Structure 1
């Protein structure tokens, strides 16, 4: 998002942008947000949605930690998100069935930093995990499943010029990234 927001802010300096993050799903129908990004599709009437891309995930450990044995995990500890219903977490638990979950957090930066401290193995978005010094991505026979990122907005906003400009900025970045 930072490159998208930078381009948009430079092109439209008089438009204020507010970013809210959290685990709570903001209601587009009740105008709690103009636009939302989620890792699950929207299920509300009057919401226009688009799958933007798939977020790749990898398995990370502290730089100096020994490689765990995939398919076992005996003696290993796991760092997981607070929510356990994501397929990448099920993959982690299946890949290291004898590892013990020791820390849960709803923040992937916290998960990555605890991984760096040697607390355990974490499944992180690659764009996050690859940026955390002191961690390394494990080369395993299979990779955890990615998550699709969805953008949604209430259909009443589709004719607003500044909103269409923002959507266009997002589309331009996605087109450039796949070219």
Structure 2
């Protein structure tokens, strides 16, 4: 009976950063399942860049652009970032950041544009915690450990946080969607790619 169905079907592996998987594609996946109930999405959340050529994942959503050959890639969305603190915390930093406690990216992500922006903004601030996880940073920020730069789509959804007006916001980042060229004819992959473009994508 399954073989006679004209509906896209089967497992579809989707990889992305943990915070992105938690806060962005939910409505897309819900609509995908509603329209195509025989597709079973598998969300693989983490920092590893899976190899699309080796079929470690079917479709990847990530900040790092795709440079591998035979990868169909498109810019899905441009993310805005902001500096957040606990919404009950006073935040009156000196110009040089003296006395400011910050939650920052760890050493391997210290080159990220928002991390460099924060370091430039508050030269004398103190890093009280570092983490590669935006979700962990957001939770520590909510516990009043310090300020953190977060994607607006994450920080704006957490009622314990407030966005600070820093005059000039942190740099934006692009999210890229990619899949191997051999997969482009798969109905289940095209269904997700089209929905992602329709619901959260940009031209």
For the aligned pair, the TM-score class normalised by the smaller chain equals over 0.9
Question: Does residue 126 of structure 1 match 2:160?
Answer: no
Which of residues 134, 143, 157 in structure 2 aligns to 1:108? 134
Of 101-110 and 5-14, the range deviating more from structure 2: 101-110
Question: Does residue 42 of structure 1 match 2:77?
Answer: no
Question: Secondary structure of 1:18's partner?
Answer: strand
Shift in Å, 1:70: 6.4
1:16-165 matches, cutoff 5 A: 16-69=40-93, 71-82=95-106, 83-165=109-191
Of 10-19 and 166-175, the range deviating more from structure 2: 166-175
Q: 1:146 to 1:152 in 2, by over 3 A?
A: same
How high is the TM-score relative to the length of structure 2?
Answer: 0.83
- For 1:51 and 1:71, the matched residues in 2 are separated by 36
Q: Deviations over 1:3-36 (max 9, x none)?
A: 1001101111111110001111011011100000
Question: Secondary structure of 1:61's partner?
Answer: strand
**After the TM superposition, which segments of 4 or more aligned residues of structure 1 sit over 6 Å from their partners?**
none
How high is the TM-score relative to the length of structure 1?
Answer: 0.93
| Residue 8 (structure 1) aligns with | 32
Equivalent pair of 2:93/2:99 in contact (CA under 8 Å): no
Q: 1:174 to 1:133 in 2, by over 3 A?
A: closer
Equivalent pair of 1:71/1:94 in contact (CA under 8 Å): no
Q: 1:133 to 1:29 in 2, by over 3 A?
A: same
- For 1:36 and 1:80, the matched residues in 2 are separated by 25
Shift in Å, 1:130: 1.2
What residue ranges of structure 2 are gaps of 5+ in the alignment? 1-24
What residue ranges of structure 1 are gaps of 5+ in the alignment? none
Question: Secondary structure of 2:45's partner?
Answer: coil
Q: How many residues align?
A: 177
Shift in Å, 1:78: 1.1
- For 2:173 and 2:124, the matched residues in 1 are separated by 25
